[in-house]
Amino acid sequence: DVYKRQAFQVEDFEKALEELTAKGLKLIKGFPRKGAHGQVAFFYPTKGLDLLFEICEPHHLPGSEV
């Protein structure tokens, strides 16, 4: 299977995770977990879309304004 991936940076990772799972999105096994720049979560593609959905925390450089 070939999937396209759509990633979204979210300011409140835990809130976004809670909202998306409440709406029926299913987390891929092993997620959420720490990624290169913070928390990341992948969700199984929704039926008929072949779209892998990802949420992640925004990348902030040390010393930058949040």
CB atoms within 10 A of CB 32: 17
3-state secondary structure of 15: helix
Strands of the chain (E only): list them. 4-9, 33-35, 38-43, 51-56
Taking the chain (66 residues) in runs of 10, the rounded mean pLDDT of each run is: 85 95 94 91 85 86 58
pLDDT at 20: 94
> What's the rounded Cα separation, in Å, for the pair 15 and 10?
9
Q: Which amino acid is at 32?
A: P
The phi and psi torsions of 65 (rounded to 5 degrees) equal -70, 140
